[in-house]
Structure 1
Amino acid sequence: MADNITNDTNCLDDKVISHVLTAAYSFILIGGVTGITMMSYIVFQSNTRSVTTTAVINLIVVHGIFLLTVPFRILYYIRNEWVLGDDFCKFVSAMIHVHMYLSFIFYVTTLVIRYLIFFKRKDKLEFYRKLHAVAASTTVWVLILVIIFPLFFIQYGNNGKYDSSKCFQFQGEFMKLEVKVVNYIVIGTVLAVVCAFLCMQIYIIVGIVRKLQGPGACPPRILAQMKSLFFILVMVFSFMPYHIFRIYYIQNANDCRIVEYNEICLSLTAASCFDMWSFVIQSNLFKQSACTALKNKLGCCCL
């Protein structure tokens, strides 16, 4: 045990790794805050009764809460010393995992909604009133705050962080067999869901392209499916590398170098905050495409 403790306390002393993580989280903080600010302006001008829009609003909230904790990560990697107490360390450390899995849940929810719209041949799914959208969102957050958060924070980090001056070193948790089993189940679930959505989306896009070949093709329909594809690509590039590497990390959690690589992979999950930038770009492209289609049909200027 003494060797493990020594290894744990020496982890993340590499200045190169600290510089990389400082730069990565600084970039994520600036880009994420800018993205959610721009997307908030667009979303609240749109139809807030839309189920998809409601999911995106909740996604903005998730990103916003996580970004509030990022400055503390940056401060730690700059100083390479934690001075804000063990409990706050656990909170900041846990929030990147909470952000990742809540984002994953809202991505999956949005994709399921979009697939229901597509297969049922509807334009969109809406709540009857704005109050219903607020009630649905409130119910979700009450469940998260009352059930998920307390259970997660009570169990998180009980067997790690031996040095009070260090943070984000809770790999001692993997000494428990049940923790390993839960992690393997989560990893398998995330990878399977992402792969299933990717195959489904490719099938849908290929089917649309085949039907719309020639001059009668409808770019807005393609762009609509590209929005769904983007949700999936975010999960592929932000979440899958971390979960794939985590399989190896769980078995080698006492190796300081592996812990450092895990921190880098974990920082990739925070890059999902940049999804808001793509939403802004896609929103503008969709409007331009719809405008062009209307102009071609009516033979007049589209303002």
Structure 2
Amino acid sequence: MGVNRPAAAVLAIDAGNSKTDVALIGADGSVLGTGRSGGFQPPRTGVEAAVDVLGLAVAEAAGAAGLAPGAPYADRVSACLANADLPVEERQLAEAVGARGWGAATTVRNDTFAILRAGLEGSGPPLGVAVVCGAGINCVGMLPDGRTARFPALGMISGDWGGGGGLAEESLWWAARAEDGRGGPTRLAAALPGHFGLASMAALIEALHLGAVSRRRVHELVPVLFAVAAGGDAVASALVERQAAEVVAMASVALERLGLLEREAPVLLGGSVLAARHPGLNDRIAELLAVRAPLARPSVVTAPPVLGAALLGLDALGAPAGAHAKLRAHFG
């Protein structure tokens, strides 16, 4: 049985497809307890089962903070969730999370907002744009008055291209066609199967199809793509170039929608693909962005997204600057 303590100011939740991080934050910005659980995938498991996964991390954080089970844990739940891609989904998930009684008020946002807030210094309302390129790709922008710019980010049906999953699939497509003669030559045809210890694309295609190589491992091919591109391969280089152009297109459109093209504004780059800082990608993004949005200031965000969720919660509560600084210092 935990020891009763006053409820925290913020229960911060960052939930991605692969893992969930939770932190209970005091009014002074101190971290009272943290927890971790599995991925948040309501399209696959259903909303209630997905929120149950959040609950495991919440319970762990509450235990670490010494809070009694079952009590409201915080004044505000600030949740940044994967698969909350549309405003209607945010509202539905806010209802489901709010029904658990973890906080007096609940706000749910897409998880890209966590990257945006984590990358912005200070305690004032957020201003800037964030592009996340991890398994998929997404972009959001925010002004201090609360106005936002965003995209559905539902894959091909909403006009998206790239991210780790998309880059891996494109690499396989070009490599398969290079080997069987339907496409031009590329060193991807040897490098991709070679990563799995296989001799040909035909062997890799068979292994993926029959399950000898799990489809979950396809993301491992993204660093292979960048290595082949760095060696001057035309096909691989074209894929990296297209990814850079997609990132810049999203960022510049978001900046334009928010009226930020004509003023200095941060563009935060997050997610595993961008955080890896591949020179061929990140340097090209900076070059293209300098043409489309000369006043934009790109930077890579490596702070944990749960920090962004927590900062958004402190923002909503009007916490003093010292609380923001203490919280940021905890996460390094």
Q: Same fold (TM over 0.5)?
A: no
The structure in which a higher percent of residues are strand is 2
The TM-score normalised by the length of structure 1 is 0.32
Instruction: With a CA cutoff of 8 Å and minimum separation of 6, indicate the structure with the bigger relative contact order.
Output: 1
The TM-score normalised by the length of structure 2 is 0.30
